[in-house]
Structure 1
């Protein structure tokens, strides 16, 4: 198992943030199935103000590129991503079209 941590911002609007959270309390079953099929075993999203932090636990063979290709060929996932982008705002360091940014681990207490 591997752990990946990612960050993304939301548009800084309390109404939009509340709607975004509501969507995640009712995530579409097709989207959940796609996440699991890609090799993601667990996923959690946390929020402070408009900053999001995602923790993913994946199988060892999980590949972000393969997940992206799966997402591109899934119309329901594309519909979800389009809807979520209406709430999300790329981090300043994001490349064009990039949403979630993979974070680098800098400390671990074992």
Structure 2
């Protein structure tokens, strides 16, 4: 089964640019380990230098929803999300955070891919 490719966006608060870049230069080892254990590979986050963060990754597992639930269950990941969510503004109506609600990062539809 080929990897599932996922792209997402969220908005970064202008006051948080430095702090966001700094924390992502030193991602906590527990968070990195959970990302690996949840079958996420080739994960990148880009910033457009205005307000949009664009993330892309490949999901190589067989149970995406189950892996995302395992991610949410990790207390250190939830702590990380609590910190980074405070630096962001979600484009999802009714979003309350990464760990709860309808989602935080908006998933994008892929319209073109060339390997």
Name the structure 2 match of 1:55.
56
1 or 2 for the larger relative contact order (CA 8 Å, sep ≥6)?
Answer: 1
| Secondary structure at the counterpart of residue 14 of structure 2 | coil
Offset, 1:42: 1.6
CA distance in 2, matches of 1:70, 1:88: 23
TM-score by length of 1: 0.86
Distance in 2, Cα, partners of 1:106 & 1:88? 26
The answer on 1:104 being equivalent to 2:109 is yes
How much does 1:21 deviate? 0.5
Identify if the C-alpha distance between structure 1 residues 33 and 108 changes in structure 2 by more than 3 Å, giving closer, same or farther. Answer: same
Q: Gaps spanning 5+ residues in structure 2: where? A: 97-102
DSSP 3-state at the match of 1:41: strand
Q: Which residue of 2 aligns with 1:75?
A: 75
CA contact (8 A) 1:46 1:54 kept: yes
Residue correspondences, number: 106
TM-score w.r.t. length of structure 2: 0.82
**Structure 1 CA distance, aligned partners of 2:38 and 2:61?**
11
* Worse overlay, 93-102 or 75-84: 93-102
Ranges in structure 1 where 5+ consecutive residues have no aligned partner: none
SS of 1:31 mapped into structure 2: helix
